Structure formats: C-alpha cells, structure tokens
Structure 1
Amino acid sequence: MRTHRLAVLCSTAVLAVAGMLVGAPSASASAAESNCNYIADSARPTVHPGDNSSAVKQVQCLINFYSSYPAYIDEDGDYGPATADGVYYVQTCNGTTGGADGIVGSSTWSRLYTPKPACAL
C-alpha cells in the first residue's frame, strides 16, 4: 500500500513539473516570433505615437509577453496612451539608446525582443 502511494505521488510530481516546463515562456526572439507574429522579424519599421498598424500590434504583444511591464496592453494596433506607457517603461528599464522618447526604433525593437534580465518576465 505504501509503495503504491509513493508511486502515485512520484508520478503526480513528475507530471506537474513536466507541465510547468512545457508551459514556460521563453524570451528568445524565436519564441516571440511564434507568439507575436503580426509582422516579419526582418520588418521592424520605426513606430510613433498615433500610428495604427501591424507593427504597433507587434510592439504591444512583445511588451505584454516578454517585458516585466505590469499592465496588459490591448493588441489593437493603435499606438495610444497605454502603448506609450509600455514603450516608455521598456525604454527606461532597458536604457535604450536615445532614452525614453516613445519612438520604437532599432534600439527599442532590440530590447523588445531581448530585454535585459531585470526587465524581462
């Protein structure tokens, strides 16, 4: 009886750990591309406040799933105040080139895909 309980407990623990490992997100670019696939990885245009595009959706998705920004941003493609707050957070946390200007250029794109460890989930 004791052996059977131990076997059940061990198999339950193994399944629980395996489930956590399978569901764990990765902050790598390939993982970001598979979950945030609004634009091609090679198509990273400069994004400004007021823009409405698939590139803005990409920015919103990357902030939501790969940065430690504490609020969820609707992935609607509209670069409004909520998106601006998230972009400023990413820029400030990561110390992007050009500072926190709200414009998503090459430095910010780079940190959206590969945030500093303290700025990632």
Structure 2
Amino acid sequence: MRQHGLLTLGAGLCAAAALGLAAPHPALAAPDSCSYTSPTHQPTLTHGDTGAAVKQAQCLSNMWGGEPPKLPLDGVFDSVMLKKIKWIQGCHGLPQNGVIKDRTWQVLYHPALDCYDPYPV
C-alpha cells in the first residue's frame, strides 16, 4: 500500500513537471539550514528591503520550485524575489501582495507539498 502511494506521488510529480507546473522541492534546503536570522525574527519585509532577514527569506524560498529555482542569497528584496514571494503566497491562498509578514513567514518555514500553480512567466 505504501509503495503504491509513492508511485502515485512520483507519477503526479512527473506529470506536473511535464506540464511545466512547479511544486515545492523540500530537498533543496531545510528550514534549519537557513540560519541568517533566528526563526523567531520575522519582520515585515517589502520590495526594496535589504539585510539578514531578507537573506533568510531568500534561503527559505529556495525550498520551492518555480523560476528561478534558487534566488541568490544577497539580502536584497528585488523584483525577482517579489515575483517568487507572490507565487508562494498564491500557492497558499494568501493575498499576493509580495509583503512578507506573519502568514507568509509561516509558509516559508512550512511549505505545502501540494502546490502545483504554474510559475508566472
């Protein structure tokens, strides 16, 4: 039974990849491997912000698929990061405003494994 579930999951992921749909990839990083700030330090971040908290959010967002698959860990909340954050918010039914606070921090630390929203072009 367990093997069947894994085969079904694998087939679903392959189908999603073939269709150009993206899913979170937790194997890329683990929340505990992102140690630029304490997990309890969750300030509100917006486009244009810089610093260690932005670097933490970049690291956490790299657990997700989409394009780019990995953001540079430069601590700059640029337009590429804004696009990725909006996509992650949409995967969780959050307002796609690109502002990282409360609920967005929560999903960055605990990504859903079942989001197959296509990454915006």
Do the two structures share a fold, i.e. TM-score over 0.5?
yes
Q: 1:52 aligns to what SS in structure 2?
A: coil
Tell me the CA shift for residue 94 of structure 1: 1.5
Distance 2:28 2:85 in 1: 20
1:80 aligns to what? 78
The two structures have a TM-score, normalised by structure 2, of 0.67
**What is the percentage of aligned positions where both structures have the same residue?**
31
**Based on CA coordinates, which of the two structures has the bigger radius of gyration?**
1
AA aligned opposite 2:67: P
User: Is 1:67 matched up with 2:69?
Assistant: no
Q: What runs of 5+ residues in structure 2 fail to find an aligned partner?
A: 1-25, 117-121
Tell me the CA shift for residue 102 of structure 1: 0.6
Tell me the CA shift for residue 119 of structure 1: 3.5
User: Is 1:101 matched up with 2:100?
Assistant: no
1:53 aligns to what? 51
Higher relative contact order (CA 8 A, sep 6+): 2
Taking only aligned residues, the RMSD between alpha carbons, in angstroms, comes to 2.0
Q: Which runs of 4+ in 1 moved over 3 A?
A: 24-27
Tell me the CA shift for residue 118 of structure 1: 1.7
Distance 1:119 1:69 in 2: 11
The two structures have a TM-score, normalised by structure 1, of 0.67
AA aligned opposite 1:105: K
Higher helix share: 1
Q: What runs of 5+ residues in structure 1 fail to find an aligned partner?
A: 1-23
Q: 1:25 aligns to what SS in structure 2?
A: helix
Q: Residues 119 and 57 (structure 1 numbering): CA distance in 2 closer, same or farther, change over 3 Å?
A: farther
